[in-house]
Structure 1
Amino acid sequence: MSNTYISAELRRLVITRAERLCEYCLLHEDDVYFGCQVYHVISEKHGGLTDADNLALACTTCNRNKGSDVGSIVLPLNSGVFSRFFNPRIDLWREHFRLDDADGIRIVALSSIGEVTARILKFNDTERLLERQTLREINRYPTREALSRLR
């Protein structure tokens, strides 16, 4: 949680820049029960600033799962290799993830950054897959805005 006030103007900038998509799982804020939240990519407790370069839009599920973490150990865990999480301010989604060709709802990691992000944010847990499948069936996933980030 942020301790610093985020102005309405800065919130609008973040939301507009994200095209109202969770910048992690690419769900549109209209399609998630609790909407999306402006949050710190690098939390304040880790020295993250409250500025446009360190703020992103995340759905409640991604935000809750990420918490104040900045990364994780890459699987297999005995590798001992630490990787940072996907950072929507400096990374391109398509370089770290893709949608599974078979079903179009499973998010496949393409890098160690993608692997730790997808695992810790639980992109492919059953309930999240069902959510995307339902949205896909009513032509809400991926949205036009999300498709632009896939290409």
Structure 2
Amino acid sequence: MEPAIRQLVWQRAARRCEYCRLKQEHELAQRFHVEHIIALQHRGESAVENLALSCAKCNAYKGPNLTSRDPDTGKVEELFHPRNHRWEDHFCMNGPRILGITATGRTTVWLLQMNSARRLALRQVLIEDGDWD
């Protein structure tokens, strides 16, 4: 991937995971990834409109998936697509917890394990320190 494209993705995301909203400076142990929203194996392209900045955990849990089952209904739902969806339309914060407010949001929160104990604890510390916005 060209360095200019990589830099554009980082700038567009403001150095923040486009899924869980964690900032790179809060996750010093692992560098964030420029990931393919639609994986190459699903004919996704390395074009800027198919790339997102993702923390290592969100990227690992998402993998090449495009869909999963909604934990509330069991129906197959599409995952959040950072280029086609607005974060605020699918998620909201309740303290340190990220809530899915649509089927897409619930499914993405569940599959990417956005509310694991470690993630909740980290967000709680960031909120208490005034470093989560």
Is the 2:49–2:83 Cα contact (8 Å) retained in structure 1? yes
1:42 matched residue in structure 2: 38
Give the residue type in structure 2 aligned to 1:14.
V
2:17 matched residue in structure 1: 22
CA distance in 2, matches of 1:116, 1:110: 10
Query: What aligned pairs does 1:75-114 form with structure 2 within 5 A after superposition?
Result: 75-76=71-72, 79=74, 81-100=75-94, 104-114=95-105
Could you tell me the percent identity over the aligned residues?
Answer: 34
Deviation at 1:140, TM superposition (A): 1.5
2:110 matched residue in structure 1: 119
Deviation at 1:115, TM superposition (A): 0.7
Unaligned runs of 5+ in 1: 1-5, 143-151
CA distance in 2, matches of 1:26, 1:125: 14
Deviation at 1:76, TM superposition (A): 3.9
Q: Does 1:135 align with 2:129?
A: no
CA distance in 2, matches of 1:97, 1:76: 15
CA distance in 2, matches of 1:23, 1:133: 19
| 3-state SS, counterpart of residue 87 of structure 1 | coil
Runs (4+) of structure 1 exceeding 3 A deviation are none
Give the residue type in structure 2 aligned to 1:64.
A
- Describe the superposition over 1:14-36 as per-residue Cα deviations: whole angstroms up to 9, x where unpaired: 00000111000111111113131
CA distance in 2, matches of 1:71, 1:128: 22
Is the 2:91–2:105 Cα contact (8 Å) retained in structure 1? yes
Query: Normalising by the residue count of structure 2, what TM-score does the alignment of the two structures yield?
Result: 0.95
Query: Normalising by the residue count of structure 1, what TM-score does the alignment of the two structures yield?
Result: 0.84
Is the 2:38–2:66 Cα contact (8 Å) retained in structure 1? yes
